[in-house]
Structure 1
Amino acid sequence: MATTTGARDADIARAAAAIADPSRARVLTALLEGRALPASVLATEAGVSASTVSGHLAKLLEAGVVRVERHGRHRYYRLTGPAVGEALEALARIAPPLPVTSLRQSSHAHALRRARTCYDHVAGALGVALLAALLERGVLEGGDGRFHPEAAEGDRLSAPGNDTTYRLTEPGRAALAAFGVDADGLVAGRRPLIRYCVDWTEQRHHLAGALGAALTDRLFALDWIRRGGRRRVVHLTDAGRTGLERTFGVVLDN
């Protein structure tokens, strides 16, 4: 695998040290939803006291992987950006699974595989099915939505992939506009329009970047997907199942 100048110059050990604690890892996993959360919620997610989570958050802030937002007297924490979420998804692909010791844990794991948020875009079976449908319908072109490790020398594990270039087609631009997503407006932003992650549960690509986030926002706005009761879980509604099939040809197994 080729090593970029940026990778050689980056203090990888410092970032890794910030993550290499079970409690801090649970804090970061909770923040993968993309929403800002107060320390009290993060303490519950991590299974530690409020004073203990404050120390963990200080280390994560120092490492630059989370940031704090102040609303009046209240402080909320979120990941510093999509790159952190993508890096965590990458680690999830190579990390051993946590032991499942209850039916509740098993149900949560199954729900995450079906549909979840990967920072600000959909992932899991729903995410990869959406990208596959966009390619099949000609909204996007380039690549087949599958992970080919033997040919992906520049493809870091689940971080934004480099071995495949996906492009928005002109018919796709029109189709997205009809769906309520302004691709031209997204291009004008600072974030790359189209990126992808190698999904850690499906071993296939799901759509990321500004377009992945905008499509996810639109799905929430239409009530085609809803946040589940457990962290990161997303539920596809009946209207969403019908709408995604009619609009983009997305078909998911029951």
Structure 2
Amino acid sequence: MTTQQSWDSDIARAAALFADPSRARILKALSDMRALPASLLAAEAGVSAPTASAHLAKLVEAGMVDVEKNGRHRYYRLSGPEICAAIESLALIAPPLPVTSLREGSRANALRRARTCYDHLAGRLGVALMSALIDRSLLTGHDGVHRPEQAVRDRLSAYGRDIDYQLTEAGHRELASFGVDMDQLPSRRPAIRYCVDWSEQRHHLSGALGAALAQRLFELDWLRHGPSPRVVHLTDEGTTGLRQVFGVRTGDSAEKR
């Protein structure tokens, strides 16, 4: 979906696609940028397969969702990170959904504890990892705390623009030793960016480095996707490994630092 930088954008038409609760649940399920089958999206939205297909057809027609064919199956994914950014921004201003079951409450807590934001880590875990890189002087430029009264361009649930983080020489060495080679990162996107985390109101690491670091954690099986899209969980090996390698403390109190 091409982003229009114009006040003439048809905001009402785009907003109408988010207005249906089932479509909103489908979009949230897709916001970790994985390609998911219609059957899983129907289950996530709590609707029948034909109803999910009708919603997906509207989203594809609007350019918010792309469809990929794999044999007889079709998989759906968001068309770009700007859709994910819109979802995160709407989550910031939207009233909370009433929690009507233990399952819903557990999922909400899990999202705040550790989730993906496009292709990098967010929530308490993402913030804790960013803080650890700063504390160990692997990343410099700021302390990672979002201060609204000092922000010029930064806002919650969006890419940060006020701070220029830099990777130190020690950071290059340690990340390379960990299996993330800065020289091999894709050049099509900035290497180091940050987002202002909507649930923690601190910075988490994004950009090509944030994506590569998250991918490495999945490769090591330190991190696994949860049963719900976007939710991720640390394995026991991941808890130990992150503490030993980066000094990340993964208890709730530490991740809220």
Q: Same fold (TM over 0.5)?
A: yes
Query: Does residue 27 in structure 1 map to residue 45 in structure 2?
Result: no
Q: How far, CA to CA, are the matches of 1:85 and 1:40 in structure 2?
A: 21
Query: Does residue 172 in structure 1 map to residue 159 in structure 2?
Result: no
Displacement, 1:159?
A: 1.4
Q: Decide which moves more: 195-204 or 122-131.
A: 195-204
Query: Does residue 97 in structure 1 map to residue 102 in structure 2?
Result: no
* Aligned position for 1:201: 199
Q: Decide which moves more: 60-69 or 121-130.
A: 60-69
Provide structure 2 residue ranges, at least 5 long, that are not aligned to the other structure.
253-257
1:190-236 deviations in whole A, cap 9, x for unaligned?
A: 12212222222211111112111111110011111112223322111
* Aligned position for 2:231: 233
Q: How far, CA to CA, are the matches of 2:36 and 2:48 in structure 1?
A: 16
Q: Answer yes or no: is the 8 Å Cα contact 1:86–1:197 preserved in 2.
A: no
Query: Does residue 76 in structure 1 map to residue 70 in structure 2?
Result: no
Percent of aligned pairs sharing the same letter? 66
The number of equivalent residue pairs is 249
* Aligned position for 2:36: 37
Q: How far, CA to CA, are the matches of 1:62 and 1:151 in structure 2?
A: 41
Q: How far, CA to CA, are the matches of 2:194 and 2:7 in structure 1?
A: 23
| Structure 2 residue identity aligned to 1:196 | Y
Displacement, 1:48?
A: 1.8
1:129-173 deviations in whole A, cap 9, x for unaligned?
A: 001111111221112211121222312431111122222222211
Q: How far, CA to CA, are the matches of 2:57 and 2:104 in structure 1?
A: 29
| SS of equivalent to 1:6 | coil
RMSD of the alignment, in Å?
1.9
1:29-71 deviations in whole A, cap 9, x for unaligned?
A: 1112321111121112112222222221122123322111111
* Aligned position for 1:117: 116
Provide runs of 4+ in structure 1 moved above 4 Å.
Answer: none
Query: Does residue 220 in structure 1 map to residue 218 in structure 2?
Result: yes
State the TM-score, normalized to the length of structure 1: 0.90
Q: How far, CA to CA, are the matches of 1:166 and 1:13 in structure 2?
A: 36
| Structure 1 residue identity aligned to 2:154 | D
* Aligned position for 1:58: 57
Q: How far, CA to CA, are the matches of 1:193 and 1:86 in structure 2?
A: 19
Q: How far, CA to CA, are the matches of 1:189 and 1:197 in structure 2?
A: 19
1:69-96 deviations in whole A, cap 9, x for unaligned?
A: 1112221100122232232122212211
